[in-house]
């Protein structure tokens, strides 16, 4: 779309005949793009990206969709004042639940709840401290599932968190195979 940026569906979920889709990125990231030396369709593409990036969509059986809320915009704003957290958002994984959805945001390092009315709340912020001497990174939650009365959130560095009233990292050594199957 614009250099290295791409916008599209990162995750989908289905529950009781409802299809939910999360679009990645955040609108603020596209708003500052200068279309001066870009192709002629740049203003239209930019406008679409600004209006759609980061939205959780409810898709009907006939293919029409409506936004339940801009998770990307919300999470980008949420990260503004967190020390050692990149000012970022990239909603990535979605889980349909009664009354809305849960979204794992790989950029803001959050697990969010989005109600059917569009209210967005952060359920958990994944602060990640890499071991001394290792490559610096952050948590990067990429997916969320429900199994065995728990929520399981997978993080890109190889951890799986179990959530039931709070998130706990499941212990394992980096060289061990995962103990939990989702």
Neighbours of 90 (CB within 10 A): 24
| Section 113-125 average pLDDT | 93
Which residue ranges make up each domain of the chain?
Answer: 9-167
| Section 22-46 average pLDDT | 90
Percent above pLDDT 90 for the chain: 47
What is the Cα–Cα distance from 52 to 46, expressed in whole angstroms? 10
The pLDDT-based confidence of 114 (bands split at 50, 70, 90) is: very high
| Section 98-119 average pLDDT | 94
Does position 182 have pLDDT exceeding 50, yes or no?
no
What is the Cα–Cα distance from 42 to 150, expressed in whole angstroms? 44
The pLDDT-based confidence of 156 (bands split at 50, 70, 90) is: confident
Name the least confident of 94-103, 110-119, 138-147. Answer: 138-147
Q: In this structure, are residues 130 and 137 in contact, taking their beta carbons and an 8 Å threshold?
A: yes
């Amino acid at each position: 779309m614009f250099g290295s940026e791409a916008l599209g569906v990162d995750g989908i979920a289905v529950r009781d005949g409802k299809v939910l889709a999360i679009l990645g990125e955040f609108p603020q990231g596209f708003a500052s793009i200068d279309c001066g030396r870009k192709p002629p369709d740049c203003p239209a593409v930019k406008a679409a990206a600004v209006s759609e990036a980061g939205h959780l969509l409810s898709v009907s059986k006939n293919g029409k969709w409506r936004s339940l809320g801009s998770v990307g915009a919300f999470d980008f704003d949420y990260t503004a004042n967190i020390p050692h957290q990149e000012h970022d958002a990239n909603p990535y994984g979605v889980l349909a639940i009664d009354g809305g959805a849960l979204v794992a945001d790989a950029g803001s390092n959050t697990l969010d709840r989005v109600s059917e009315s569009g209210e967005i709340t952060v359920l958990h912020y994944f602060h990640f401290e890499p071991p001394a001497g290792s490559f610096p990174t952050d948590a990067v939650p990429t997916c969320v599932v429900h199994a065995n009365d728990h929520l399981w959130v997978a993080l890109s560095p190889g951890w799986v968190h179990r959530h039931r009233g709070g998130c706990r990292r499941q212990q394992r050594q980096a060289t061990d195979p995962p103990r939990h199957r989702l």
